[in-house]
Structures are given as structure tokens and as C-alpha cells.
Structure 1
Amino acid sequence: MIDNIRENFTHIFEEALILEINEVGVLKEVVEGEKLIEIGDYVRSMPLLISGAIKILREDDNGDELLLYFLERGDTCAMTLTCCLGQKKSEIRAIAELDTTLIMIPIQKMEEWTGKYKSWRNFVFQSYQKRLTEMLETIDSIAFLNMDERLVKYLQNKQKVTNDSVINSTHQEIAYELNTSRVVVSRLLKKLESLGKIELYRNSIQIVSL
């Protein structure tokens, strides 16, 4: 595990912290689609991503989901950090977007390392800032973009995160994550296909030019 930590975090953490992460961290592998955190769970550890991607979702009172942001290699989740520090139940759902490898850090170490290591403190603050920016972008998208623009942005983000021009999602799954209806998503995808932007297949979308 030490090699994975050094490969991903040497440019962020000093060697002493890397050795501590190796000592207390637990390597965890999850497959695409597996749920890591459920709304209402108590969070006992925080993730450091070694590879793969995780999507973070919120749920409204009607049970409808909204995609907040993606976590990628070298990231951690600010929402998880907040729950850990406040010992509160999780307000988000975390699902593996790809097969993902993580190192789980016990919450007891978070406060200790914040005072002990400047690099860890900077990492936590930068994570908060990055996640806040991404959530503001989500809010702006809902408030200011038309649904067709939101859909294009969603597909672009998926392509970036997965590094693949094929999006393996159904129209219903996309509708859930954009908090809209399948009918609307299907209509807009058909429009993008007619413009030559994408090609539609059963349960997948080939991005041609977005």
C-alpha cells in the first residue's frame, strides 16, 4: 500500500505523514455501482482515492437524487470530512462510478493530523474549497442553464471522469442524476443524436463531438 500512497500523494504529503497513512489506513476496493456511503449512515472513516471515481449524490424529500460532484484520483470528500468532524449522519450517498481503490482513514486521525501536519491541513482546506466550487457550479447549472445545456455538461463531465467517450448509463439513470424525467432526457438525447453530437445505443451513449 505504501507504493500506492507515494505514487498519489508524495507531491502533497511529507514522508512522515505518508508512513502514518500506511500504518493506520485500510486499503479498500469497490466495484462499479457499489455503494460506499448511504444517507443516514454514521461515517467512521474518510476515503483517499487511489484510482477510479466516485459520484456524490443528494436526495430530496421525495427520494429523487441529484448529482453533486465526482471524486477522482487524489481526492477526498468534503461532505465526508464534515460528517466525521461533527459526528453526524451522512447527508450524501456515495457510489463507485468506476472500479475504485481507496485508502480509508479512521476519523480519530483527522483532527490529530490537522494539528500535526501542515500538508494535511492544507489538503483538507483545499478539498473543502474544491467541493464547494463544484457544488456552486451544480447550483448555477440548475438555476441558470436549460435542461439541454445541463445534459451536455453532464455528459462532458462523465467523459472526463471516466476518460471514455462511451457513457454506460440508461436514460433513466441520467434522469435520476439530473433530477428530471426520463422522457425529457430521451427527447434531448435524440436531439443531440440528430445534430451528430452523440450516437445512442442500448444502455450506452457514444459521444462524437460535444
Structure 2
Amino acid sequence: MIKDLLQQKFAATLDDNLISEISEKGIFKTFKQNEIIIDINEPLNFIPLLLSGDIKILREDNEGNELLIYFLEAGDTCTMSLTCCLGTTKSKIRAVAEKDSSLVLIPVQNMQTWFHNNESWRNFILQSYQIRFDEMLEAIDSLAFMKMDERLYKYLKNKVMLNDTKTIHIKHQDIAEDLNTSRVVVSRLLKQLENESKIKLGRNKIVVI
């Protein structure tokens, strides 16, 4: 079963022998929506390969406020956890299941061995670094150069792309926590976006037009 899931999501990037080895040595885990997968300051002995679902990667300031950095989709890995594993440091991020998700956890020693011995794994890791780096630059640009209403609309459009549906089931408070702002601000800006005919608001749901 795990091997079939790996082939579905990673056959285009990882060779068959490596997929077989991952299915043997990796640990299959499932997480419910909103369950924490990796927490800040947690020692990391594995890296995750996401088979199904979505994961959001968050940073936290000294006051405990969270900020969304990027999302992971099926077929992705978290390069920030890779960096912590390679440096044998504690996690600097929090990974939370955006929806029910399944993963294969790869022990760090295997990850390091494959990086040196397997070209497809090495290419996959380097490409993942580039993708996540670009996403972090985009997150920094949003914080530095975009107004909150623009950040909010971009957030909603990313949710639409991630879930492949124009209807998003989410509370205003959850959006506020992801964007590190207040629920009142989010509610006001959502109403503004509705008045601009960009979205349609419902009870705990938003339709992006």
C-alpha cells in the first residue's frame, strides 16, 4: 500500500529502487486535520514525505503569534525540517495538518545516505530547496510590500488552488491566526472584498469568485 502511494506521488522524481527502499525503511503515519506534525523546538530524527492531504508550515514569535510561511501538498517534503536534520538542530517551524494527511517519515541517517548515493533523491532534495526558498521569498515580499487586503486575497486564492475548489470552509479567526492579525481586521477586509465582488461570504465559508 505504501509503495503504491509513493509511486503515485513520487514516480516522476524518484527512481523505482529508491521508492522500494523508502517503502521498507520509512514509517507510515496519518494525521487528523489541525494535528501538529512537527513542533517548534522539537528534535528532528526524520523528514516527512507527504502522500496525501496538505500541511501548513508556520513560524512563531516570542509572544506566541504564528505566521504562515508556506503550504505543502502531496508529493512535497519540508526543506526546513531537512535543514534541521542535517544540522542536528531543533525544529524552527511548526507543521500542522491543514486537512487529514498521510506521510512517510524517513529516518535522518537514510536521508543522508541517499543524498550521497542516489541521484534522483539528491535532485529531488535540491529542487525542493529551490521551491521552498522561492515560496519564502514570496512570503517575505507579501509582508514587506503588500497591504493586508492584498495579502488576504492572495491567501484565499492560494487556498482555492490548494483545495481545487472555489468554496473555502474556514473561520475568520483561523485566517487571522495564519496572517498574524486580528479577527476584526479579517472580517472587515473580507466584507471589503465582498463589496468589490471578489468573494461571497457565507457561514464559516467563503466563495472566491
1:55 is paired with a residue whose SS is: strand
| 1:115 aligns to 2:116 (yes or no) | yes
- Shift of residue 204 of structure 1? 2.0
The sequence identity of aligned pairs, in percent, is 54
Partner AA of 2:41 in structure 1: G
Q: What does residue 33 of structure 2 align with?
A: 32
1:110-189 equivalence runs, <5 A:
110-189=111-190
Q: Distance in 2 between matches of 1:168 and 1:61?
A: 30
The normalised TM-score by structure 1 is: 0.96
Task: Note the residue ranges of structure 2 that are not aligned, 5 or more in a row.
Answer: none
**For residues 166 and 131 of structure 1, what CA distance do their matches in structure 2 show?**
26
Q: What displacement does 1:165 show?
A: 1.8
Higher mean C-alpha deviation, range 30-39 or range 193-202: 193-202
The corresponding residue for 1:6 is 7
Deviation at 1:97, TM superposition (A): 0.7
Structure 1: 5+ residue runs without aligned partners?
none
How far apart, in 1, do the equivalents of 2:131 and 2:12 lie? Answer: 18
In structure 2, how many angstroms separate the alpha carbons of the residues matched to 1:118 and 1:13? 9
In structure 2, what is the equivalent of residue 42 of structure 1?
A: 43
2-structure distance, mates of 1:107, 1:56: 20
Deviations 1:19-63 (A, max 9, x none): 110110111111111110111111121111111110000011111
* Aligned-partner residue type, residue 143 of structure 2: I
Give the match for residue 54 of structure 2: 53
Q: Please state if 1:199 is matched with 2:200.
A: yes
User: How many pairs does the alignment contain?
Assistant: 208
Tell me the amino acid that sits aligned with residue 149 of structure 1. Answer: E
- 1:14 and 1:194 mapped to 2: Cα distance? 51
**Partner amino acid, structure 2, of 1:86:** G
Q: Which runs of 4+ in 1 moved over 6 A?
A: none
TM-score by length of 2: 0.96
Instruction: Report the 3-state secondary structure (helix = DSSP H, G, I; strand = E; otherwise coil) of the residue aligned with 1:152.
Output: helix
Shift of the alpha carbon at 1:203? 2.2
- Aligned-residue offset at 1:173: 1.3
Could you tell me whether the CA contact under 8 Å between 1:200 and 1:206 is conserved in 2?
yes
Provide the aligned C-alpha RMSD in A: 1.0
Would you say the 8 A contact 1:98–1:162 is kept in 2? no
